Structure 1
Amino acid sequence: MRRSNLPAELNRFVGRAAERAALTALLDTSRLVTVVGVGGVGKTRLVLRVATEMQKRYGAGVRLAALAPLRDPALLAHALVEALGLTDHTPRTAREVLLHRLAEGETLLVVDGFEHLAEPCAALLRELLEHAPGLTVLAAGRRALRVPGEAVLPLAPLDAADAAALLAERAREAGAPALPGDAPAAGWPGPAGGAAAVAELCRRLDGLPLALELAAGRLPLLSVEQVLHRLDDRFRLLSDGAPGALPRHRTLRTAIGWSHELCTPEERLLWARLSVFPGPFDLEAVEYVCGGPELAPERVFDVLGGLLAQSLLVREDSPVGPVYRMLDTVAAYGAEWLAALGDTERMRRRHRDWYVGLATWCELEWFSPRQPEVAVRVETALPHLRAALDLCLELPEDAHLAQHLAGTLWFAWAGCGRLSEGRHWLERALAPESESEHGAARLKALWVLGYVTVLQGDRAAAVAALHECREGARASGHALAEAYATHRMGCLALLTDDLPQAEELIGRALDAYRELGELNSNVLMGQVELGMARAFRGDLEGAVALCREVREICRESGELWTRAYALYVLGYAAWTRGALAEARELLTECVLINHTFRDLVGLVLAVELLALVTVSGGDPVEAAVLQGAAAAMWDAVGVRFFGSAAFDGPRALCERRAAEALGPVAFEAACGEGRGLSAAEAVERALAAGRGPGGGAPASAPRPFRTAGPGAVPGTRKPAGSPTFKGGEAAG
């Protein structure tokens, strides 16, 4: 997994020296430390700062799980898998994946915003800590998790000096004018004798960082004394308005409410509407979701800028461009106003509709040069897509929308390493009975579920989903859904070594696609899978012809994901001819593409084959290292080689040759080195192997392989001298 996903600091961290030291000391002695405090006191900023400072301590990485956008407790483990950068294609639950993958290595997991999921979060973290001795958890929330062994650090507001320093720093960032003659360290706005007014403002705001930052956002327009005067009025108004509330809760609410009152009507309206976004959002989404009555879409940009200038929004750079984020406390205030306006449900539906549209666009653009952008955009939009699916599932009349959205996102589940979460949503969407007029959406969700479970190695679930899809499609006349179900049944046959059945079913599906005019990544993948079936049966010429055609179509269309699988087959064909340099070049590109898309199935197959090319080129040590790395990857894929003798062929031959060259002790040592590599490190080694020397004929010329298992056809002609793989060893 990637070592860190901590966000970069957008402005200077101010103060908290004592708290940072105390938190660091607690992490020396406790594996679960929770920073607790009221909203706006700076918990998140503190834990992120300390986590960043401690990264070198944790060899397996430091990862942030921001749970505030999450609403469904059933997705908690999935969110942690995502935060940890884990990819897992097995039928294991997300909880089982966490227990398995965190068992080794030293990891610091930062958990932020867990209050609304406190009980399930505490239960899951307790289980993880019990089973993963190298795991340390640093949490930030308004209450403790109450897990045995937990150390709690209550976070108080800033002291007077730090509060004044923070106010001055943020005021300068906001563009507040400096007073002539002020000391550079203090250099800051206000009337003569401003230091006293600054101290009073910090005192009135109780030293709460969020309240201070909101006040600083007003200082380009107001003097410190004007801010104090307006706050005094607000405090008197609200001093008795929140019975039972803690003073600092009232202080923060007063500061936010005061900021709200100083906003223009358009800014207040946009603030309320933005509260439906559970995570970072971009301008296009805001213009669609929040534009409308009383706020024209063309006004949204300027109004958004007004909220940003007042520190009510944070601007961040993301892989898809600038995005904006509203702090949870500020968003909660906006949600109250949206509810008071009676507009919550309408805005949630508009939010859902935008992200259903985004998913539809992404599915179309997946088969285009924008495929890498689509993968990144879906990752960024994941909190919103989850919220959209949740809303669809809340209302029985919207079940078809849930099926449509879960099915539309097939490329995110199968192409971007999210099989487990995809299965979660697909099974939930398919649970209710579907109305007849929405049959197409249900059929699509069924074949996508079949596809996901095929890749997970869950044959029973795959057969059930694909059979229901095929029968339903035949009964209702949905020829395209029937073609997809037939295709995925052929894929299942391929992975279980029933090669004649795979050829027959995939060939039939491809004929149907051509007749229906269907051409996309799925169709091309079917052609590659047909090529694999033919290659495994010894028809390399036919396999190469199919995959060269796929590579050409991918080149013309800009498609990369399917291209990688075609390169795998072509790389194998090059190896059989002894063209090792060509094989390395093809497989290196294959590794790069699969790693980019987090496609662990394609990646592990390419690394295994690259290991065979490497030992054929005379480097058994590096081949064994790559084999060990691939073995570790198979743990995340699931059933090793899908239980297929055909897919196991390259590994078996590579192992035999490398072990013969090195001897069992050295071979096992090199494999052990490979098993200790992270996925990213394994990719680096594979790419380095791909850059190695080669091109000459291997010591013993490789030949095509085929299976002697369920897919072998008695009497099928086999090229002279080609090895048949049987029981993991090459014979013949």
Structure 2
Amino acid sequence: MVVMNDHARSALQTNKELASHSPSTLYISLLGGFHLVYGVHTLSADQIHLHKARDMLKLLALSPNQRLHREELLEMLWPEHAPQQAAHNLSQTLYTLRPKLKALDASIRLDFEDECLNLKAPDGITSDVEDFEQAARSVLGYTGRISTQTTANCHEAILKYTGDLLPEDGPSDLFYQRREQLRQMYLDLLMLFAHYNLELKVYLPAIDALQQVIAADPAHEEAHTCLMRAYALNGQRQAALRQFQILTEVLQRELDVEPSPECTSLRDRILNGELVAKPSPALQEWLVRPRHNLPSLVSSFIGRDAEFMQVRDLVQSHRLVTLIGAGGVGKTRLAFRVAEGLLDEFQQGVYWVELASLSNPDMLASAILDVFRLPEQDGCSEMDLLLNFLRDRDLLVLLDNCEHLLNGCPALVDLLLNTCPSLHILITSRVRLNLPGEVTYYVPSLNTPDHSQSIPLTDIAQYDAVQLFVERSASFCPGFALSMANACSVTQICQRLDGIPLALELAAARTRILTVEQLASKLDDVFHLLIGGSQAALPRHRTLQASFEWSYALLSKQEQILLQRLSVFAGGCTLEAAEAVCAGEEIEAFEVLDLLSCLADQSLIYVKHLSEGESRYYLLETIRQFAHQRLQESGALPRLHQRHLVYFLQLAEEGDQQIRGPQQLIWIKLLEKEKNNFTIAIERAFESSTNLEVGVQLICALTWFRYRTGDFNLQLNFIQKALFIGKENISTYTQAKLLFHVGFSSNWLGRCLLGEEIATLLEKSITIWKELGPKYVLEESQSKLILGFNYLFLFMNSGQGSQLIKESISVFQKADNVWWHAYALNLLLTTDLMDRDAEAALSILQKETILWQKTGDLWGQALSIWDYGLFYLIHGDFVKAQGYLQKSLEIFTKFGSISITCRIMRELGKIAYTLHEYDQAKAYLENSYLLAKEVGYYDTCASIQCVQGFFSIHKQDIKNAELLLSEALRNAQKLANIDILIHCIAGFAAINLLCKQLDIAVQLFSVCDAHLDAIRSPATPYKSIDIDPYVEQCRQQLEIDVFDQAWAEGSALSLDQAVQIVQESLNLIPH
């Protein structure tokens, strides 16, 4: 219990009684005991018999606006109960409590509104805690001159503390943390009161206050030190020395430490009689005050080890360091940590000057003087006083939040550094000062994991953003911890909030009433979600919205407009894109670069200088949401969305041509950087009937780019969505283009649409092109080409397929369209490969290669090299095939063409297996499977599983072979892929052979042999490895008549019947 003298307690009681007689305000007393007063009526704690009812009132009294969410109440009052039981208890408690309040006055209400319980009285509610905190904050936040009035104000605040908060509730209750905070605030007031009186040379009140602090906290070394000084200056030398002895004994007993060197030095000075002379007030203050005024942070500092060391080194080696960064990113926290770490490096310590609340730049010198509490001197200006005081001192001064004082701060800092040779200054600001010798350090957000990647839980826990969110969440929701169940949501929260500490802390506070899964799902409305920060914080740090409003208000009108317009981009933008989309209506194109520079200086955008010599401009996602909200309010959002869409359509259409020529690698990299912008432009177009036509054209313009980079899943999803909603809203021309691109995309994925559906769509596009006239003969031929390949690949109809491809080739040749001619020959080659017509295939290959070289299309040239590999593979020259495939793989890897590289690696794995290079085969197949799975090429995945099954058979690992082949078989059936299905059946035939089910093995091998010949699969050369050796083993182990009969029976079976035999045979195989 904190000691209070009788005079103070009596005065306070009088004040409280006066307050209680206010006729229309509900007054709640919490300090020293609990009761409510309304007019002349009192409700004491004893009159509320239910313990939970008393706690509920106390919690409401201590909550802002006497308002608490239902879920918070349930969690705090009945944490151990199930939700239903807790809700029942809440109802019963309210039922008990309402009549008690009504007895005070019928107008006092205790009701739910919007899931929040509210305590209301006609003219409001106040409490002694609120009165004390308001008075204490006013006094503790005062940085002006010390006078008798400031001392009186401090004394009045002390008198408002009539005892500890709710002492009857014990040491480990709901109110323990708040009780300790208020007690510490009271002790801080007593210490400040003592310092004020010492400054004014009024020693007895200082001694009284310090004795009260020591009574409450016997090991408070600063209080003992100040009391020693007060005794000595008051002529009580023996009392001062006795106080040192008391401190020594207390520290030894409770902490096992000795008094600090400063305190010991003060004892020596008192012994030597040096303090009797009563030095000047400024020196008095300097001797006893701590060597810093850095605040004691309630919450821990997490992460930023690298940043701490870098900034610490910069401050030691440079006299002016400015920490810049976006609002809420943690500049002040980092500065505090650095300042604490440098306490021993500066002889006279480190001092913090908070400038956020200062609006007049002319008051800067005064604000710094107030930190050092220097008294005025006649005939000496504030600036001269400050310069004289700092001139020879070895100090670090932290000027915090300077961005709004750029009219005065740079000049003052420059003057201080030039006048005071040992002074170092550390600044936090959202804008640099641009002074000579200034070193700027950009404070980044906390590092976050990528929620789109699969990362082990132990690795996720190492990220600073995750550590901060988890620790702060645990403080609001005891027991909260990172787990496999919530890791994905926690990762998403950290990434979506850009790792901004303020945002993460505000989000963590929401875990009191929301699960992390619910929190993650609500981040699209981040500014309404993240409210309710610490009331002790500056207003601009209480919500994310307020933090950004502060920065936004410092911008010029043009800067505000550009920031709004930049929010339409996703994943950043180039200068050219910003000029094209954001210029117009108050901003000229030539002004955009300077405005971007200003926004970067204000830490509202960040710039990446890429290796290609290009700069790219980014908004953090949280700032983007803020700016987008402002853009929406301005009414310009639809216009900017349309500009954005049109710009990226033009870029995609140019890219569609360029990626087929010699500049393709440059353009593919360029388009890769804009993938997010393409995606968001298309998604917005789907939401607007006005922009749908342009959106569909953009989808079509990206098909070849997506094909070459392996991003076909996203492309096919967009195309199919456009097909579904766009029929009535797009022109006939665009419909025909869309139908072609649907057919092309589905063909290459080999899924999502059945072959008949693809054919129907392509036939419709051909019909539309014909109706549009001869002008579109090239487009008609492109649709015919893909339709022909569809017949060839999905229906195994080489006659009709090759006829359509040849018709297309004729048109391309006549039009001298070299690129489409080369591509058509590439597709026609499939026919001759299936027919095993070596001479015809080689002739096409040579023509195709020449045409690709003419186009300058390296990707197309890699396609012809791949074709050479397939040619030699089908004709059994595995070594040559391997060389060509490896060469093509190198080129396609440069393009990032995952869709193709995974297939080439699959073939290389098969070849390596055939050539008995088993380790290499294993590596190729595993990597191929991972890539195919990543891009959703499930036919390739199934094919690889089949090959791996044969690999396991070779090692006689029947269990693993069965697992791989069963999975491959299921996928082949889903995909209707006959080729893979046949090879899976062959694998099970080999398993039956190893398990001595010889008749079943022969039947299944016979089915495979018959159907491989029927479909003329390009993979047939593997038959000599996958099937023929096992068939020969069967022949050697069976009588010739038995073998022939089983072979004949198998050749008559359908594939469905063969699959049924496979499934039945699995029950006969020993495991």
TM-score, scaled relative to structure 2? 0.41
Question: Residues 576-655 of structure 1: matches in 2 within 5 Å?
Answer: 582-615=880-913, 617=915, 619-620=917-918, 622-623=920-921, 626-627=924-925, 630=928, 638=937, 640=939
Q: What one-letter code is carried by the residue in structure 2 that aligns with 1:476?
A: L
Q: Is the 8 A contact 1:600 1:637 kept in 2?
A: no
Within 5 Å, which residues of 2 pair with 1:269-668? 269-317=561-609, 321-432=614-725, 434=727, 438-458=731-751, 459=754, 460-477=756-773, 478-496=776-794, 497-520=796-819, 523-575=821-873, 582-615=880-913, 617=915, 619-620=917-918, 622-623=920-921, 626-627=924-925, 630=928, 638=937, 640=939, 664-665=956-957
* Cα displacement (A) at 1:450: 0.8
Tell me, in whole angstroms, the C-alpha distance in 2 between the residues paired with 1:170 and 1:220.
Answer: 28
Letter of the 2:558 partner, please give it: E
**Residue type at the aligned position of 2:840:** G
Q: C-alpha separation between the residues in 1 aligned to 2:703 and 2:876?
A: 38
Q: Alpha-carbon deviations, 1:578-614, whole Å to 9, x = none? A: 8666533321122233344444442243223323543
1:213 touches 1:311 (CA, 8 Å); kept in 2? no
**Per-residue deviation, 1:228:** 11
**CA displacement at 1:494 relative to structure 2:** 2.6
Distance between the aligned counterparts of 1:456 and 1:592, measured in 2? 22
CA distance in 2, matches of 1:362, 1:510: 24
Deviation at 1:359, TM superposition (A): 1.0
Q: Is the 8 A contact 1:217 1:309 kept in 2?
A: no
Q: Among all aligned residue pairs of Structure 1 and Structure 2, give the percentage whose two residues are the same amino acid.
A: 17
Give, in whole Å, the separation in 1 of the partners of 2:615 and 2:595: 16
Assess, with a 3 A threshold, how the Cα gap between structure 1 residues 266 and 621 changes in structure 2: closer, same or farther. Answer: closer
Alpha-carbon distance, 1:519 to partner = 3.9
Task: Say if 1:289 and 1:354, in contact at 8 Å, map to a contact too.
Answer: yes
Secondary structure of 1:315's aligned partner: strand
Equivalences for residues 119-130 of structure 1 within 5 A: none
Distance in 2 (alpha carbons) for counterparts of 1:411 and 1:633: 19
C-alpha separation between the residues in 2 aligned to 1:256 and 1:436? 40
Counterparts of 1:327 and 1:457, CA distance in 2:
39
The alpha carbon displacement at 1:543 in A equals: 2.0
Q: Distance in 1 between matches of 2:587 and 2:312?
A: 30
Moved more, 246-255 or 536-545: 246-255
After TM superposition, give the deviation of residue 627 of structure 1 in Å: 4.7
Alpha-carbon offset, residue 530 of structure 1: 0.9
Deviations 1:601-630 (A, max 9, x none): 422432233235435655355345545655
Moved more, 318-327 or 358-367: 318-327
How many corresponding residue pairs?
507
Partner of 2:608: helix, strand, or coil?
Answer: strand
Q: CA deviation at 1:537?
A: 0.8
Partner of 1:60: none
CA–CA distance in 2 between the matches of 1:551 and 1:403? 33
Q: Call closer, same or farther: CA 1:444–1:161 in 2, change over 3 Å.
A: closer
Cα deviation digits, residues 154-209 of structure 1 (max 9, x gap): x998869999x989959979x996189x9996599xxx9995443565999xxxxx
Structure 1 Cα separation of the partners of residues 952 and 548 of structure 2: 68
Residue-by-residue CA offset, 1:299-358 (whole Å, 9 max, x unaligned): 211221111112111123557643221123333333344344432222221111111111
Preserved CA contact (<8 Å) 2:765 2:783: yes
Sort the Cα spacing of 1:267 and 1:507 in 2 relative to 1 into closer, same or farther, 3 A: same
Contact 1:469 / 1:481 at 8 angstroms: preserved in 2?
no
- Per the alignment, residue 991 of structure 2 pairs with none
Alignment check: 8 A CA contact 2:606 2:619 kept = yes
On the 8 A contact 2:355/2:401 being kept in 1, the answer is no
Task: State how far apart, in whole Å, the 2-side matches of 1:613 and 1:160 are.
Answer: 53
- Residues 364-417 of structure 1 show CA distances to partners (whole Å, capped at 9, x for unaligned) of 111023323333333321221122112322222333212211111112332222
Q: Is the 8 A contact 2:889 2:905 kept in 1?
A: yes
Give me the whole-angstrom Cα distance separating, in 1, the residues matched to 2:959 and 2:848: 37
- Give the SS at the match of 2:584: coil
Asked if the contact 2:700–2:741 (Cα under 8 Å) also holds between the matched residues in 1, the reply is yes
Q: Distance in 2 between matches of 1:523 and 1:493?
A: 19
| Aligned counterparts of 1:156 and 1:443: Cα–Cα separation in 2 | 65
Match of 2:409 in 1: 222
Question: Tell me, which stretches of 5 or more residues in structure 1 are unaligned?
Answer: 1-154, 205-211, 232-241, 676-704
CA 1:616–1:219: 2 relative to 1, 3 Å: farther
- State whether residues 282 and 323 of structure 1, in contact with CA within 8 Å, keep that contact through their aligned partners in structure 2: yes
Contact 1:574 1:583 in 2 (8 A): yes
Distance 2:898 2:841 in 1: 23
Residues in 2 aligned to 1:271 and 1:396: alpha-carbon distance in whole angstroms: 27
Instruction: Tell me which structure has the larger Cα radius of gyration.
Output: 2
- Rounded Cα–Cα distance in structure 2 between residues aligned with 1:263 and 1:508: 63
Counterpart-to-counterpart distance in 1, 2:553 and 2:695: 39
CA distance in 2, matches of 1:161, 1:434: 54
Amino acid paired to 1:509: S
Aligned-partner residue type, residue 883 of structure 2:
E
Change (3 A) 1:600 1:331: closer
- For residues 400 and 758 of structure 2, what CA distance do their matches in structure 1 show? 54
Superposed CA offset, 1:262-289 (max 9, x none): 3333322222221222321121111111
**Structure 1 CA distance for aligned equivalents of residues 698 and 1014 of structure 2:** 37
- Higher RCO, 1 vs 2 (CA within 8 Å, ≥6 residues apart): 1
Three-state SS of the structure 2 residue aligned to 1:198 is strand
Matches of 2:890 and 2:650, distance apart in 1: 30
Q: Does the residue aligned with 1:397 lie in a helix, a strand or coil?
A: coil
Is the contact between residue 214 and residue 259 of structure 1 (CA under 8 Å) also seen in structure 2?
no
CA distance in 2, matches of 1:201, 1:515: 74
1:179-194 to 2 correspondences below 5 Å: 186=339
Give the RMSD, CA atoms, in angstroms: 5.2
CA contact (8 A) 1:404 1:442 kept: no
State which drifts further: 246-255 or 303-312. 246-255
2:353 is the alignment partner of 1:198 = yes
1:577/1:420 Cα in 2 relative to 1: closer, same or farther (>3 Å)?
closer
TM-score scaled by length of structure 1: 0.58
Match of 1:28 in 2: none
Aligned residues of 1:160 and 1:203 also touching (Cα < 8 A): no
1:301–1:441 Cα change, 3 Å = same
C-alpha distance in 2, partners of 1:219/1:355? 39
